[in-house]
Amino acid sequence: MKRLIAGLGAAALMAAGCGGGTPSGSGSDTVKVGLITKTETNPFFVKMKEGATAAAKAQGAELMSAAGKFDGDNASQITAIENMVAAGVKGILITPSDTKAIVPAIKKARDAGVLVIALDTPTEPQDATDALFATDNFKAGELIGQYAKAAMAGKPAKIATLDLAPGITVGKLRHDGFLKGFGVAEGDPSIVCSQDTQGDQSKGQTAMENCLQKAPDINLVYTINEPAALGAHTALKAKGIDKDVLVVSVDGGCTGTKAVKSGQIAATSQQYPLKMAESGVKAVTDFAKGGKKATGYTDTGVTLITDKPVAGVAAKDTAFGLANCWG
């Protein structure tokens, strides 16, 4: 029966378009590490998988990987957890697509003795996993909020926030951090439009078009990530006002960092998925070898990237950003 369940699970993984095992070790004593990302096409998760693969090889471990078919695909992530537990992984690294709905499946894995570490996105509650290795997403938002406040130099702001989606912690943390960094509270009259984008470029463009219909005098745009920022820029350019509107974002991907260099995005907060994955794989192999569980939150760092620095806000230029970007 167990073999049947495992077989069905493997079939489900393939149906979900998920990657199978990526063996880096061999033999019955090889530590198995699972990596489950939101998708396997987003460059952020591609870089995360690269980091996990390299770290597994260095540690003599075997990496099994899987991903959802789209951002928000909770069902495929649950299937992946079940398959990996059945396959005997010692630990699972996961970027949860649905931070609440995934919790029962994670609990089953932990009850089975598997170390579970969230990468990038915390679960709700955060202690549903043993540990979290991630960017301080609130700080990432706060940095671009501080930057925007200084860059506006006292000019009255008409703000559009292009957000992620309801109920996703990473989106809320960045949004709230931006508002704190800019010095306004939710509901402030300077926030004239808020739209969800799912972090998608085309939806970011549509969201910006909708906001401009509502408030044509928008002069500051917060975006959840760089694809949304580039979508917003397309909409602003179509109206001929892209030079008049300050766009700030989060991620630090190579495309996004190039957009900072070209001036499409004023500043971005760069995060480091490679480091998240490397740290996660090492934590699992340490657990397998010594029994010590990773716990709590590990900040994997964030850096403000811009070629137009402002006084009082620490930043690196795009040369640094491009040397450390992903995608």
Where in 23-174 does DSSP place strands (E)?
32-37, 62-67, 91-94, 115-119, 131-134, 159-163
pLDDT for position 7: 34
Contact (CB, 8 A) for 6 and 86:
yes
17 vs 159, residue with greater confidence: 159
Digit-coded pLDDT (tens) for 166-208: 877 889 999 999 999 999 999 999 999 999 999 999 999 999 9
Lowest-pLDDT choice from 27-41, 82-96, 136-150, 193-207? 27-41
Per CATH, 31-135+272-294 and 137-270+304-324 having the same topology is answered yes
The two structure tokens encoding residue 259: 């957009």
pLDDT beyond 80 at 138: yes
pLDDT over 90, % of the chain? 83
Domain boundaries, the chain: 31-135+272-294, 137-270+304-324
- Look up the CATH architecture of domain 31-135+272-294: 3-Layer(aba) Sandwich (3.40)
Helix (H) or strand (E) holding 247: strand 246-251
pLDDT beyond 50 at 82: yes
pLDDT for position 168: 79
The two structure tokens encoding residue 264: 């499409």
Calpha distance 216→203 (Å, rounded): 18
pLDDT beyond 50 at 2: no
Q: What is the mean pLDDT of residues 246-261?
A: 97
- Confidence band of 259 (pLDDT split at 50, 70, 90): very high
Q: State the chain's mean pLDDT as an integer.
A: 91
The answer to whether the Cα torsion of 303, 309, 314, 319 is positive or negative is positive
Q: What is the mean pLDDT of residues 306-319?
A: 97
- Cα–Cα nearest to 95, from 133, 56, 47: 133
Alpha-carbon distances of 199 from 95, 162, 226, rounded to whole Å: 15, 9, 8
Strand, helix or coil for residue 156: coil
Q: What is the mean pLDDT of residues 137-153?
A: 97
Looking at domain 137-270+304-324, its CATH superfamily turns out to be Response regulator (3.40.50.2300)
Cβ count within 10 A of residue 289:
11
pLDDT beyond 60 at 92: yes
Lowest-pLDDT choice from 39-53, 130-144, 307-321? 39-53
Write b or e for each residue in 26-59: b if 16 or more Cβ atoms lie within 10 A of its Cβ, otherwise e: eeeebbbbbbbbbbbebbbbbbbbebbbbbbbeb
DSSP 179-220: HHHHT--TT-TTEEEEEE-TT-HHHHHHHHHHHHHH-TT--E
- Confidence band of 321 (pLDDT split at 50, 70, 90): very high
Q: Which residues contact 283 (CB under 8 A, 6 or more apart)?
A: 91, 115, 117, 131, 133, 294
Strand, helix or coil for residue 120: coil
Q: What does residue 186 show for φ and ψ, rounded to 5 degrees?
A: -55, 135
Q: Half-sphere exposure (CA, 13 Å, Cβ side) for 38?
A: 23
pLDDT beyond 50 at 308: yes
The two structure tokens encoding residue 63: 């990496």
